[in-house]
Amino acid sequence: MHKETLEDIGEKELINRLGKFMPKEQVFDDCALIKTRNENLLVNNDSLVENIHFNDLTICPIDLGWKAVVSNISDLLSSGSKKTIGITISLILPAETEWFWVEELYKGINKALKKYGGIILGGDCSKGNQKAISITAFGIQGELKLRRNACKPGEIILTTGIHGLSKLGFMVQSKMNLDNNILHETLISKSIEHFCRPQVYPNFLQNLLKTRPNKKINKLGCTDSSDGLFQALQDLAIASKCKAILNYEKIPKDKKWPKGDKWDEYYFFGGEDYELVFSLPEKWATNLTRQDKNITEIGYFVNGDPSVEFSGNKKGALLKKTPFKHF
């Protein structure tokens, strides 16, 4: 008799099956909501594992510490956190790990907390065969509740920044075979920066509130692109039970980004860009893109089976590619 493995079922099916052990609806989002007497809390956990997410060739420990914090704060922001309270840190380390490596890791962690807010609240350490950093972050729920299941047909799909740079940075750092003749020097340096020192948008919620045309709206569809732009869109479509239609010509790319199917695949499926992907009513979307030039309209939601398509069937074959797999 065949026994199912995690490789057989994949990450998304694993999460769906684990959902039966959790409160209803909680499985849709990266952050858990905890209601308290005063302000509600958002709690997130994210892990980085050696030889899956990082190694000594691709990233130094100080940058790894920064990235470990930012990956969690990105999830908090994509749920509507208005303030990061702090984090706890769990480390799994081989006994032969040098203290210098751990010290540099924590320097990077503190650099990110200094910029984005929060303190180290505690943690745990254990011995293991390979390094792993697991961070739990605590934030305060803001006025706007951002959830994956809140997108609506007719709403405009938007994204912050551009995608694909972190994937390219990872490939450059990994010394993968790339046609450096077509890669501009500024693109290479920018991609390494995006991979090693990703940024988030602390003013995002303020700009949303500032441009909101109707104060009665307090819930929006949103996620981040930590697993790639396509996966973010698919997660929103499935959770919200509607279809995402993308306009390929509107997708924001770096001016030096090469053309071609391979580079489109890197762009849509790369991951670790930590950009926000969300939807708004049309008037709100117009107000926001006028206020914040780093935000771009890339499509819209319609009624239909949860899926992601390009308008006019352009680049349709691209979306048949396989997203990043954790198993």
What number of CA atoms fall less than 13 Å from residue 97's CA on the CB side? 22
Sign of CA dihedral 211, 165, 133, 28: positive
Q: What is the pLDDT of residues 174-211, one digit of tens each?
A: 988 787 668 989 999 999 999 999 999 989 999 999 99
Task: Provide the sign of the torsion angle of the four alpha carbons 42, 55, 160, 114, taken in this order.
Answer: positive
pLDDT of residue 18: 81
Contact between 76 and 224 under an 8 Å Cβ cutoff? The reply is no
CA-based nearest residue to 179, from 189, 170, 168: 168
The domains of the chain are located at: 31-141, 145-320
pLDDT at position 13: 83
The rounded distance, in Å, linking the Cα atoms of 129 and 93 is 7
Please provide the DSSP assignment of 229-263 as one string.
HHHHHHHHHHHHTSEEEE-GGG----TTPPPSHHH
- For residue 98, the model assigns a pLDDT of 96
**What is the CATH architecture of 31-141?**
2-Layer Sandwich (3.30)
Tell me the backbone φ, ψ of residue 16, rounded to 5 degrees.
Answer: -60, -40
Locate 77 and state its tokens: 């922001």
Does the CA dihedral 17-22-28-30 come out positive or negative? Answer: negative
Same fold, 31-141 and 145-320: no
Letter for the amino acid at 51?
A: N
Amino acid at 244: A
CA 197 to CA 213: how far, in whole Å?
Answer: 34
Nearest to 22 by CA among 38, 6, 33, 35: 33
pLDDT value of position 180: 65
Sheet holding 219-224, edge to edge: 145-147, 219-224, 276-280, 156-160, 295-302, 243-246, 307-310
Instruction: Report the pLDDT value the prediction gives residue 58, as an integer from 0 to 100.
Output: 94
* Structure-block tokens of residue 279: 């939807």
- pLDDT at position 94 is 96
Residues of the chain with pLDDT under 50: none
Q: Which structure tokens are listed for 197?
A: 């020192």
**What's residue 10's pLDDT?**
80
Q: What is the pLDDT of residue 8?
A: 81
pLDDT attached to residue 322: 64
Query: Which pLDDT score, from 0 to 100, does residue 27 have?
Result: 66
Q: Could you tell me the pTM of the whole model?
A: 0.92
Provide the pLDDT for residue 29: 74
CATH superfamily of this structure's domain 145-320: PurM-like C-terminal domain (3.90.650.10)
Beta pairing, strands 243-246 & 307-310: parallel
Q: What is the pLDDT of residue 313?
A: 61
